[in-house]
A and B are shown apart, each in its own frame.
Chain A
Amino acid sequence: MTNPEHDQRKLTRRDLLHSAGVAAGVVIAAPVTNLLAQAVAPKTSATVAIPVDASRVPGLPSGTLGERSPFEKPALAPLGITTGATNTPHQNLRGTITPADLHFQRHHNGIALLDPVKYSLMIHGLVDRPLVFTLDDLKRFPAETHTYFIECAGNGRAAYRAPKPEMTPQDVDGLTSNCEWTGVLVSTLLREAGVKPAATWVLAEGGDAALLSRSIPIAKMLGDAMIAYAQNGEAVRAANGYPARLLLPGYEGNMSIKWLRRLKLIDQPNMSRDETSKYTDPLPDGTSRQFSFVMDAKSIITSPAAPERLSSPGWRPITGIAWTGRGRITGVDVSVDGGATWAAAELLGAALPHAHTRFQHMWQWNGKPAMLMSRARDETGYVQPSVAEYRRVRGPGTDYHFNAIRSWRVAADGAVTFNG
């Protein structure tokens, strides 16, 4: 039986009597002066009464989903995108795992809604035995679980092209996210089908309205490539490729085809739109680099960062995330003086291959202007380049696969702004 009196996700008369009489506190999203007005208003408000002393009144009953605290409202941005991208709010996150509902989204013609019962994945082309798998078939194979980042090849280009002081980590680098993915290795399925020696590439195709297609070298598909059906322990989110998606660790996100419906083994790259006219890098020597699949090492400070304002001088961590498509992050250097001097930051937890790694550097702010930067290093010896070096090597017109060092300006009043 549903007792509306107990539906405390909404502001009820009884809640307000509690909060007014027993422990008048805060009402989230409603000024305190409106308390009594809302007490007699119809029960349609989504606000929640927050008691002054939560130990003196019964708490909320359990619900069908674990809601975020009403004080926390992380959100993807922007909204309403069908052929663009929505960004992860890195300024709201502290660990390494991206909550599935905050994973960035990039779709080329909307979020496809696929019925898992009707779902099928076909493998054909240069194989001994063309095969069709149901979702249930995929789940009957031995599973693998890994934490991997997925980063859009266009991550960071907007903030590089047109930096604005008010840009947040979400605006700057929100097109990378990091989840635990569970699924079956592509190599397991390819052994079922039998790869013919002539097969050197695999065309992967989605079942969305863009039928997004990319060519992938066979070595990657026989290596760590996987087909994921679970994300952070539950079914992959609709926007992230439900019910099953390709996942190519360390490669540009566009290749990890969502809503995967077909793998075709082929003897030459397909030269699809997204591997020719898009996601290629014009270089100063008058060429354009193609098949630049692996995402180079990169990092971003997520705090302090816009729109934060430092409340007072003193100790605080400079914290952020670093990642590389070439394996593990081996270190992150932090500068508070615009790159004049650097100090090695602490890496929190194990640096997993092809995963976001969190770093922190304890900093005692002296109340004077500062310029914060982070610089990632990876196990190949690669060091994240400066913006000047990036511009010199790639040219000012090239911005896919952008991975240069970012900086944040701290003003004497504590205001933090993006500095490009």
Chain B
Amino acid sequence: MADRLIYRGNKILNRVVLSIVLFIYCAACAQADGAPIAQRRPRYELGRAPSAAEIAALDIDVNPAGAGLPEGQGTTATGATTYALKCAACHGPSGEGIDKSPRLIGTVPPPGFAFASDASAPKTIGNYWPFATTLYDYIHRAMPITAPGSLTSDETYGLVAFLLERNGIVPATMVIDAKSLQRVVMPARRYFVRDNRLGSPTFR
């Protein structure tokens, strides 16, 4: 009886051990043969290391924490001058937008951020842009559209100050620079949420 129990116990143990061995073996096989070819390739050691100057020349992006914001500063006053000279022709003297050049200024978000129900509600810096640093990043890289990349950092800071002030987000006296810009909280920030569809069969 006792022998039988031991025998039975051994049998179960053997099966467990066999299963574990098989599992490890299969896992090893999968790694060796089942892994995508790309994961089994070596490094090819192509390309070259860029110099610090080469990286700096292209590394122009600015993030929400303010990383990448350069030296320089601007105010609503300097921005208004630049705006009139370099922006108003397309976006209108009051930032009202003309044709494909979007409206930039609109002070009050619609009640309850009602853009989903109101197709005509214009999305502006004042009511729809969630991060102030995006203004610097975008204006400096892409505007004005006929001479992109031509604005100095002072001009860009001035435009950012002007657009934030006209949208009622910062006071006219505020100097916008790397430090002050990263502290500006945009009115629309709290409305943005991450994608919640994530492959569900349900339409969202």
Check A137 for interface membership: any CB of B closer than 8 A: yes
The listed residue (B60, B134, B149) touching A273 by CB distance below 8 A is B134
Q: Give the residue of B46, B65, B134, B145 whose beta carbon is less than 8 angstroms from that of A109.
A: B145
Contact A393 B46 (CB under 8 A): no
Whether A140 pairs with B44 at a CB distance below 8 angstroms is yes
Contact A132 B50 (CB under 8 A): yes
Select the residue from B49, B120, B193 with max chain A CB neighbours within 10 A.
B193
A277 interface residue per 8 A CB criterion: yes
Q: Residue B195 at the A interface, CB < 8 A?
A: yes
Q: Are A264 and B59 in contact (CB under 8 A)?
A: yes
**Residue numbers in B under 8 Å from A389 (CB-CB):** 203
Q: Separation in Å of the A297 CB from the closest CB of chain B?
A: 10
**Number of chain B residues whose Cβ lies closer than 8 Å to a Cβ of chain A:** 60
Chain A residues lying within 8 Å of B38, measured Cβ to Cβ, are 142, 185, 187-188
Question: Do B129 and A288 touch across chains, with their CB atoms under 8 A apart?
Answer: no
> Is there an interface contact between B196 and A289, defined as CB atoms closer than 8 Å?
yes
Contact partner, B199, options A124, A130, A210, A380, Cβ 8 Å? A380
A213/B61 in contact, CB under 8 A: yes
Shortest CB distance B131–A (Å)? 5
**Complex Cα–Cα for A389 and B203 (A):** 8
Task: Output the least CB separation between B25 and chain A (Å).
Answer: 28
Contact present for B55 and A272 (CB under 8 Å)? no
Contact across chains for A288 and B50 when beta carbons are under 8 A apart: no
- Report whether A266 and B63 are in contact in the complex, using a CB–CB cutoff of 8 Å: yes
Whole-angstrom distance between the alpha carbons of A76 and B120 in the complex?
Answer: 29
A311 CA to B127 CA, complexed, in Å = 53
Is the CB–CB distance between A130 and B49 below 8 Å? yes
Whose C-beta in chain A lies nearest to the C-beta of B204? Answer: A393
Q: Which of B8-16, B109-117, B157-165, B171-179 faces chain A?
A: B109-117
Docked Cα-Cα span, A383 to B134, in Å, equals 36
Alpha-carbon distance A282/B123, docked complex (angstroms): 11
Q: Verify if B142 is at the interface (C-beta below 8 Å from A).
A: yes
CA distance A287 to B193 in the complex (A): 7
Distance between Cα atoms of A294 and B125 in the complex (Å): 26
Bound together, the chains give a CA A130 to CA B49 distance in angstroms of 6
- Contacting residues of chain B (43-60) with chain A, CB-CB under 8 angstroms: 43-50, 54-55, 58-60
* A122–B58 CB distance below 8 A: yes
Shortest CB–CB separation between residue A163 and chain B, in angstroms? 14
At the interface with chain B, which of A59-67, A340-348, A351-359, A395-403? A395-403
Complex CA gap A324/B191 in Å reads 28
**A108 contacts which chain B residues (CB < 8 A)?**
142
- A286 close to B142 (CB less than 8 A): no
In the complex, whether A394 has a CB less than 8 A from a CB of chain B is: yes
Residue in B closest to A401 when the chains form the complex, CB atoms? B197
**CB under 8 Å from chain A, chain B span 148-204:** 148-149, 188, 191-197, 199-201, 203-204
Q: Which residues of A contact B54 (CB under 8 A)?
A: 122, 132
Q: How far is the CB of A211 from chain B (nearest CB, A)?
A: 4
Do residues B116 and A211 form an inter-chain contact, with CB atoms below 8 A? no
Q: Does A196 interact with chain B (Cβ within 8 Å)? A: no
For the complex of A and B, the 3 pairs showing the least CB-CB separation, nearest first, are: A395-B116, A282-B115, A381-B201
Residues of B within 8 A of A (CB): 37-38, 41, 43-50, 54-55, 58-65, 100, 112-121, 123, 125, 128-131, 133-134, 137-138, 141-142, 145, 148-149, 188, 191-197, 199-201, 203-204
Sample of 6 more A-B contacts, CB < 8 Å, known A271-B133, A282-B113: A122-B50, A188-B44, A271-B130, A277-B129, A289-B195, A382-B201
A-B contact pairs, 20 of them (CB 8 A): A122-B50, A131-B47, A131-B48, A132-B50, A133-B47, A134-B47, A137-B46, A210-B142, A213-B141, A271-B130, A272-B137, A280-B192, A282-B113, A288-B113, A290-B192, A381-B201, A385-B203, A397-B116, A397-B120, A397-B121
